[in-house]
Amino acid sequence: MSPGRYFRKVLRAVSRDKMKQGRRALRMDDRRYVATKHSCPSCGKPVDDGDLAVNLFVCPHCGHHYRISALERIKTLMDGGEISEFSADVQPVNPIDFPEYTEKLRQAQEKTGIDEAITTGVGRIEGRQAAFALMSFKFLGGSMGSVVGERLARAMLYAADQAMPCIIFTASGGARMQEGIFSLMQMAKTSHTAALLAEAGQPLIVVLTDPTTGGVTASFAMLGDITLAEPNALIGFAGPRVIEGTIRQKLPAGFQRAEFQKDKGFVDAVVPRSELRSTLAYLIDVHSRGGAKP
Amino acid sequence: MSPGRYFRKVLRAVSRDKMKQGRRALRMDDRRYVATKHSCPSCGKPVDDGDLAVNLFVCPHCGHHYRISALERIKTLMDGGEISEFSADVQPVNPIDFPEYTEKLRQAQEKTGIDEAITTGVGRIEGRQAAFALMSFKFLGGSMGSVVGERLARAMLYAADQAMPCIIFTASGGARMQEGIFSLMQMAKTSHTAALLAEAGQPLIVVLTDPTTGGVTASFAMLGDITLAEPNALIGFAGPRVIEGTIRQKLPAGFQRAEFQKDKGFVDAVVPRSELRSTLAYLIDVHSRGGAKP
Amino acid sequence: MKAEELRSKLQELQELALRENIDIGADINRLADKLAGGDETAWRRVELARHQDRPTALQYIDLMSDRYLELHGDRTFGDDPALVGGIATIGGVHFTFLGHQKGHNMKENLHRNYGMAHPEGYRKALRLARQAERFRRPILTIIDTSGAFPGLASEERGIGEAIARNLREFSVLRTPIICVVVGEGGSGGALGIGVGDRVYMLENSVYSVISPEGFASILLRDAKKAQQAAGLMKMTAPDLKGFGIIDDIIPEPVGGAQSDHQQIAGRVRQTVLAAYQELARKRPDQLLRDRSARLLSLGRFTEKPVGRQSSLLSRLFGGGS
Amino acid sequence: MKAEELRSKLQELQELALRENIDIGADINRLADKLAGGDETAWRRVELARHQDRPTALQYIDLMSDRYLELHGDRTFGDDPALVGGIATIGGVHFTFLGHQKGHNMKENLHRNYGMAHPEGYRKALRLARQAERFRRPILTIIDTSGAFPGLASEERGIGEAIARNLREFSVLRTPIICVVVGEGGSGGALGIGVGDRVYMLENSVYSVISPEGFASILLRDAKKAQQAAGLMKMTAPDLKGFGIIDDIIPEPVGGAQSDHQQIAGRVRQTVLAAYQELARKRPDQLLRDRSARLLSLGRFTEKPVGRQSSLLSRLFGGGS
Ligand SMILES: [Zn+2]
Ligand SMILES: [Zn+2]
């Protein structure tokens, strides 16, 4: 891969863009966590909501890793529980005039308290800075439309320009079909910015979380220099039901899970949430200043 | 792969070398082909020796491609039935003082009428020039020792320097074990010159013939930009008997044959001997002058 | 009823034109579109795009080229008959071609897996594309698939990774890439050889994020509403031209591409060679910058404070989409 | 008989030295060699090289590094437990490490396939090596295999191609590569991660074109003559040092590397870091030129008219081997 120097212009322009991007500190409103109980979706045992947040949203009984949104990820991963968000102004439209899409977006925003299926910004882990992109499955199934693509593209180009790693947490059911062909094209766009990031010599670190399927899996999610996954995360292109429809039989247990994908060669390491901060900090260190100094 | 400009020095040096390489025209002595008959090793039907040479050493009854030596290849493939041979002065020694190796070499030379398991030189096909390296299985099983490695290296570097394709016909049982570790290291040497050839922008075209196994398969034989194979040629790293020893059962029919290797993704096309000249001429054309001119 | 009658009249007209060798295909098709209206037009095109007599990738290559040589294998696992590739000399220019390969009948389709490729198909494509870059051959891709194969083996060997890697690598290959959607442009499987400097669609081809059937079953919760879905999805060549996703539409012969292979192959050849002439004039850095701009401009959104649609592209290269 | 007696005395001496923590291992080993004579010495080393208590690749990495992270998979087909890799920080330097991984017992060896890798192992190695180049990490390879796995699946997925590609790519990677043969250096399977700027062998390791058993069965026509073959093949560290194939020999503790993991890991660490300091001073072009010279110089032959041994190298770089 040798795109030459043409990408410099891209980076310079993004750098200019950064100046007016209206960054804002983003952190979770902790008041939502009241001490009520629910049953763990994996083991069924009673779990206290408040305890769960403290325990990184991992079931204290069985170790089940709950699906978490960008805000919860920020709270549990980042130094100070916050990031400096950018691209917040980038907001969805209805590009193919799909019936009720605008209304559906508004409802999702109201219901989830987040504005799109991805949140991007700069943050720190154990003092090390990186650009982050955090997907939220609960926002329309983490589907990738134009906003997800644009925010991802900007996050990668920002990392390239500012010489820092880009760390992406994926969680997606696939393309935002209501945006038609535009949603498909986000695969090409985000994969291209991954190439530009590589050209700039900065690492793309991907953390696959449950679930990561469809167009996201067939683009940036599989383009990490380092690819980590949370335990038991479902990772695939075609979803299990689609495959079962093709082969007309049930899938074997564990198929497409993180551990399976590691055996099949697509995941570097399965990392429990409790070890994520330490592992990511080491990886940022390793890739700092272009590598080795004795 | 970007070794930079360091290889220029290599090429310049080889270019100087070329001046004193004592090239000589090499062609087969046709008198050896007297009109006697034998049975085709594949179909068992009677074949006339003289007819066989005219028919490109392909059985007129069943299409069986006979194993042929460098001299027979030159006769049937090259314009005028000859090449301008180089590196003829490069001759074997006994590097690890292996008992009776020197004697064995002498016997092989006497018996086969060729001096080593490879013959290299410049020749033409339908008027197009290329550097050629032609292996002879009948010379100690086409085994690769220091001379095979050095002649191959020079052929590739010559092609790189003179801006022409390098076309290799393989036929080998593997490493020349009598040369010990030196025979293993020819794999590294020839693979490296394949990298230098690629760096120079010239194609490596490999034609796999029966049989190609062992260290040759794990080096230059598998490094062609274009990889052709003769029908039914046996191609593999471990030989069939070694594998049968490992798995303790008979191999399936067709295993490791040219058509199998095409299905497995390692051969671009299986080309009958009758179509080789035309196919190679097209491939030389396609790769001339750095590609497309409208 | 009235539409039905008009359509049968049109059919007669088409057949007449075909018999008399008058090229009025594009006009007739446009007329038919107008008569049919949204959903119906789209669905008619889906059916035409899937017509089993349409020329396949290798037929296009055969009809377009002076000589060609198919090359096989991904050098890792296998050779995928559903995605073919090789070298073709078209109008004196040596191209590396890649294409989804469907069959014309059941037997061929079983061999070709209905043009639904496995990972090794995309990896073969990448191998040949890199070879093209190394030897400075332009690349021609012929897109015709309902999608990558959604099966067990395909997933096990990383169909997602294979497509993703192609998207990244094709986006920065230092050689011109020309893509033509000749039938179905289905989802990531189509895009896997669909990133290029020029993208064309045949008049009756379609290009979409998912099949109309899939779309209907997921978003309309009824797989039988595929016809309606086809309209909602905006997947026809004119739709995509309107969105600025493709460069141009290649008109088909009367009745569709299947009715005159020679003619449509000639038009594709003409379009591809003209595009190549244009692209060959660009220096590699310019080629890549333009491709980059094209890719970065994909997507529609708003930036609230400014109150207008915008994209990275407009700020980067001063253009806009 | 006399040799037997002497050896038992030596054994006592070794044990004493070990107990008293006196480092006389290398001297004792040399003494043992002299007493034993050719074939026997070589065979003793083959046995030591295969000793199942010798440290494995991951043990070396664990003992040598401040921190490390194993990375998995070839991104195409699978992850091979017989060939491991990852990132290790050794003396503050971030290395990409690669190594054949054997087990210490039957269960581990079944999982690790006795350190005999499949194609996906070599492809993982290449993936990580390219990553190392991209992020300017030096590469450390730990060689310990009787050979690539000669099985059905290994052949089907192109073990020959996988090794060949590594040989080519490693020969031109723009980052320092340091190789250490710690046990068995068997054939192409060893060489598949054995092309580098510095190659070291542990004192009792071996490196050869084929196993002594294979050599015996083919050239001596009797698989049981492995001991004799080991001598004929010239496969010990001193042999290879004498041939100029390796750079240096790392002395083992008394009795062999298995008797003191900590100590041998410390020596390997020291050697690797010293080599890295040297290589890090070279500009990339110089590094590659030197590696190229090393590779082109491999082989011994004569050029008749001049009547002396010669190689490409002597004419290219003015040196000679
Ligand atoms: Zn639980
Ligand atoms: Zn016959």
Q: Which residues contact B6 (CB under 8 A, 6 or more apart)?
A: D285, D286, D288, D289, D292
pLDDT at C89: 98
Give me chain C's average pLDDT, please: 90
- What band does A198 get if pLDDT is binned at 50, 70 and 90? very high
CATH number for A3-32+67-287: choose from 2.40.50.100, 3.40.50.720, 3.40.50.300, 3.90.226.10: 3.90.226.10
Strands (E), B173-274: 204-212, 226-229, 269-270
Percent of chain C with pLDDT over 90: 79
Inter-residue contact C236 to C210 (CB < 8 Å): no
- What band does B248 get if pLDDT is binned at 50, 70 and 90? confident
Residues listed for chain B = 294
* Separation of CA B277 and ligand 2 centre (Å): 22
pLDDT at D7: 65
Structure tokens at B216: 């040759």
pLDDT, average across residues B242-255? 90
pLDDT at D31: 66
Q: Which residues of chain A does D274 touch, with a Cβ-Cβ cutoff of 8 Å?
A: none
SS3 state of residue D285: helix
From B194, D124, B226, D168, select the one nearest C128 (Cα to Cα).
B226
pLDDT at D40: 75
Inter-residue contact B211 to B230 (CB < 8 Å): no
Task: State the Cα–Cα distance between residues B163 and B1, nearest whole angstrom.
Answer: 19
pLDDT at A245: 85
Domains of chain D by start residue, with CATH: 25-297 (3.90.226.10)
Chain A, nearest residue to C152 by Cα: A243
Chains B & C: contacts with CB separation below 8 Å: 71
CA distance D108 to chain B (A): 19
Among all chains, which residue has been given the structure tokens 């590569």? D177
pLDDT at B290 over 70: no
Looking from the CA of D182 toward its CB, the CA atoms found within 13 Å total 35
Task: State the Cα–Cα distance between residues D280 and D94, nearest whole angstrom.
Answer: 13
List, for residues B74-131, the tens digit of each pLDDT value: 999 999 999 999 999 999 999 999 999 999 999 999 999 999 999 999 999 999 999 9
From A112, A140, A212, A177, select the one nearest C220 (Cα to Cα).
A177
From B251, B266, B153, B256, select the one nearest B210 (Cα to Cα).
B256
Q: Which chains touch A (3 or more CB pairs under 8 A)?
A: C, D
A11 Cβ under 8 Å from any chain C Cβ: no
Percent of chain B with pLDDT over 70: 88
Q: Which residues of chain B does C77 touch, with a Cβ-Cβ cutoff of 8 Å?
A: 264-265
Percent of chain C with pLDDT over 70: 84
Query: Using CB atoms within 10 A of its CB, is residue C75 exposed (0-12), middle (13-18) or buried (19+)?
Result: buried
Per the omega criterion (within 30 degrees of 0), is the bond before C150 cis? no
Specify the amino acid at residue D172: V
- What band does C319 get if pLDDT is binned at 50, 70 and 90? very low
DSSP state at residue C76 = S
Task: State the Cα–Cα distance between residues A212 and A207, nearest whole angstrom.
Answer: 10
pLDDT, average across residues B164-193? 98
Task: State the Cα–Cα distance between residues D17 and A40, nearest whole angstrom.
Answer: 60
Specify the amino acid at residue D205: S
Q: Which residues of chain B does C71 touch, with a Cβ-Cβ cutoff of 8 Å?
A: 226, 268-269
pLDDT at A206 over 50: yes
- What band does A36 get if pLDDT is binned at 50, 70 and 90? confident
Among all chains, which residue has been given the structure tokens 């007599």? C53
Structure tokens at D209: 């074109």
pLDDT at B293 over 50: no
Chain B, nearest residue to D162 by Cα: B218
Higher-pLDDT residue of B8, A258: A258
pLDDT at D319: 37
Task: State the Cα–Cα distance between residues B147 and C255, nearest whole angstrom.
Answer: 65
A120 Cβ under 8 Å from any chain C Cβ: no
List, for residues C185-205, the tens digit of each pLDDT value: 999 999 999 999 999 999 999
From A117, A101, A124, A184, select the one nearest A152 (Cα to Cα).
A117
> For an interface test with B, which of D116, D155, D184, D205 has the most B Cβ atoms less than 10 Å from its Cβ?
D155
Query: Using CB atoms within 10 A of its CB, is residue B246 exposed (0-12), middle (13-18) or buried (19+)?
Result: middle
Inter-residue contact D302 to B150 (CB < 8 Å): no
Among all chains, which residue has been given the structure tokens 């054309």? B285
Task: State the Cα–Cα distance between residues D167 and D155, nearest whole angstrom.
Answer: 18
Q: Which of A4, A182, A223 sits opposite C298 (nearest CB)?
A: A182
Q: Which residues of C203-234 are buried (b: 16+ CB within 10 A; e: fewer)?
A: bbbbbbbbbbbbbbbebeeeeebbbbbbbbbb
From A195, B115, D290, B23, select the one nearest C167 (Cα to Cα).
A195
Give me chain A's average pLDDT, please: 91
Inter-residue contact B238 to D153 (CB < 8 Å): no
The stretches in chain D having pLDDT less than 50 are 306-310, 317-321
D76 Cβ under 8 Å from any chain A Cβ: yes
**What stretch of H or E contains B103?**
helix B101-112
CA distance C293 to chain D (A): 25
Per the omega criterion (within 30 degrees of 0), is the bond before A211 cis? yes
**What stretch of H or E contains D43?**
helix D38-49
In this structure, the number of other CB atoms found within 10 A of the CB of residue C281 comes to: 10
Inter-residue contact C232 to C226 (CB < 8 Å): no
List, for residues B38-69, the tens digit of each pLDDT value: 999 999 999 998 889 899 999 999 999 999 99
Please give the distance of CA B131 from its chain centroid, rounded to a whole number.
12
Task: State the Cα–Cα distance between residues D229 and D224, nearest whole angstrom.
Answer: 9
Are B262 and C72 in contact (CB < 8 Å)? yes
CA distance B145 to chain C (A): 26
* Separation of CA A79 and ligand 1 centre (Å): 27
SS3 state of residue C294: helix
pLDDT at C320: 35
**What stretch of H or E contains A10?**
helix A7-19
Inter-residue contact C155 to C183 (CB < 8 Å): no
A249 Cβ under 8 Å from any chain C Cβ: no
pLDDT at A10: 59
Task: State the Cα–Cα distance between residues A6 and D250, nearest whole angstrom.
Answer: 48
Task: State the Cα–Cα distance between residues D194 and D171, nearest whole angstrom.
Answer: 10
- Largest distance between two CA atoms of chain D: 60
* Separation of CA A54 and ligand 1 centre (Å): 15
Inter-residue contact C269 to C251 (CB < 8 Å): no
pLDDT at B284 over 90: yes
pLDDT, average across residues C234-254? 97
Task: State the Cα–Cα distance between residues A124 and B178, nearest whole angstrom.
Answer: 60
C119 Cβ under 8 Å from any chain D Cβ: yes
A170 Cβ under 8 Å from any chain C Cβ: no
Strands (E), D91-241: 93-100, 139-145, 177-186, 198-202, 206-208
In this structure, the number of other CB atoms found within 10 A of the CB of residue B111 comes to: 10
List, for residues A137-170, the tens digit of each pLDDT value: 999 999 999 999 999 999 999 999 999 999 999 9
Structure tokens at B131: 């550097």
List, for residues A40-91, the tens digit of each pLDDT value: 999 999 999 888 989 999 999 999 999 999 999 999 999 999 999 999 999 9
- DSSP states along D61-102: HHHH-SEEEE----SSS---TTEEEEEEEETTEEEEEEEE--
From B124, B148, B123, select the one nearest B136 (Cα to Cα).
B148
The ipTM is 0.93
Adjacency order of strands within the sheet including D308-309: B90-92, D301-303, D308-309
Of B134-143, C1-10, C125-134, C155-164, minimum mean pLDDT range:
C1-10
Task: State the Cα–Cα distance between residues B110 and D162, nearest whole angstrom.
Answer: 37
Percent of chain B with pLDDT over 90: 80
pLDDT at B222: 98
- What band does A24 get if pLDDT is binned at 50, 70 and 90? confident
B141 Cβ under 8 Å from any chain D Cβ: no
pLDDT at D12: 73
Strand partners, A206: A168, A227
Q: Which of C154, C209, C301 sits opposite A180 (nearest CB)?
A: C209
CA-based end-to-end distance of chain D: 41
Chain A, nearest residue to C309 by Cα: A93
Inter-residue contact D148 to D114 (CB < 8 Å): no
Q: Which chains touch D (3 or more CB pairs under 8 A)?
A: A, B, C
B99 Cβ under 8 Å from any chain C Cβ: no
Of A217-221, A246-250, A267-271, B212-216, minimum mean pLDDT range:
A246-250
pLDDT at B155 over 50: yes
- What band does C306 get if pLDDT is binned at 50, 70 and 90? very low
Structure tokens at B212: 């190609």
CA distance A155 to chain D (A): 20
pLDDT at A251: 92
User: Would you put residue B254 in left (φ > 0), alpha (ψ -120 to 50) or beta?
Assistant: left
Structure tokens at D4: 């037997």
